[in-house]
Homo-oligomer: A and B are copies of this chain.
């Protein structure tokens, strides 16, 4: 039986469930603009952002972590009212709606926190599932930066900047 999915704040103890699929996603080099061999401590520090940053996990009815997101201000000062976010869904749990649930929650929370807009800085254009998902949540491709991402099999591809007012 597929338990009901829940989005909740991530806790320190969730890291042990997050890191294995995060490492796998980052090492694949197909979707994230991070060093592919980032070490665990650096990844953890990045993902568990200091407030006002927020970190979430999607868990199923059994408590299994399906995916995670981090959100916070994209810039500071006069631009601190625009949020940004990153998402990782365990490839073993694709297709269960964790990405959509995380995205929807992050957008709602950002609006509740007083942000006026959400910006994704670097969505790989070949990651068509993610692009379509974010578009379905109201994010628009406002620019595609040519050759900005070196895909391991596709070569140089574009990075989308996606944006929406909240």
Contact between chains at B165 and A33 (CB < 8 Å): no
**Given that A145-B142, A163-B145 are known contacts, is A76 also in contact with B150, CB under 8 Å in the complex?**
no
Measured as residues with beta carbon below 8 angstroms from the partner, the interface class of chain A is 35 or more
**A interface residues with partner B (beta carbon < 8 Å):** 26, 29-30, 32-36, 38, 75-82, 116-117, 119, 121-122, 142-152, 156, 159, 161, 163, 165
Contact between chains at A117 and B142 (CB < 8 Å): no
Contact between chains at A145 and B36 (CB < 8 Å): no
Contact between chains at B117 and A78 (CB < 8 Å): no
Contact between chains at B163 and A77 (CB < 8 Å): no
Most buried by B among A33, A34, A78: A78
